[in-house]
Copies of this chain bind each other. A is one copy, B any other.
Amino acid sequence: MLSLIYRDYIACLNDKDWTKLGQFVHDEVSYNDVPGTLAGYIGMLERDYEQIPDLHFNIELLVEDAQTVAARLLFDCSPKGTFLGVPVHGRRVCFRENVFYRFRDERIERVWSVIDKAAIEAQVL
């Protein structure tokens, strides 16, 4: 059941336990078809938490098959400065990310994500 592994992965993100992330993510992992590494993935998450100190991942929807998890994630948080090009500056915003994860050997190898930038703009512009 990939969904069980995925829920542990999300808990790992919310715990910011980067030492455990390699249990869930391959050393080589692509994001929106751009090849990358686990270290780069951790760097991206560290920057996310630096930009958004109260970042928390909430699973709203989850669909899975034998090798893929699709999730709709809810974020209710306060990005410090400009986030996705939107001048949020610490205001609280609520937005979703719809994201697919392809697993191999029970670890994430490919991620395809879309974040609802228009929803953030509608709340702060």
Residues of A at under 8 Å CB distance from B?
60-61, 63-65, 68-70, 72, 84-85, 96-100, 112-118, 121
Query: Copy number of this protein in the oligomer?
Result: 2
Cα A63 to Cα B114 in complex, Å, equals 16
The interface residues of chain A, by DSSP majority, are classed as strand
Q: Which residue of B lies closest to A86 (CB)?
A: B118
Chain B residues near A69 (CB-CB < 8 A): 63
Q: Which of B68, B85, B96, B121 contacts A114 (CB 8 A)?
A: B96
Rounded to whole angstroms, the CA-CA distance of A12 and B8 in the bound complex is: 39
Return the chain B residue nearest A69 by Cβ. B63
Most chain B CB atoms below 10 A, which of A63, A97, A112, A118: A63
Among B64, B65, B85, B113, point to the contact of A98 (Cβ < 8 A): B113
Do B70 and A96 touch across chains, with their CB atoms under 8 A apart? Answer: no
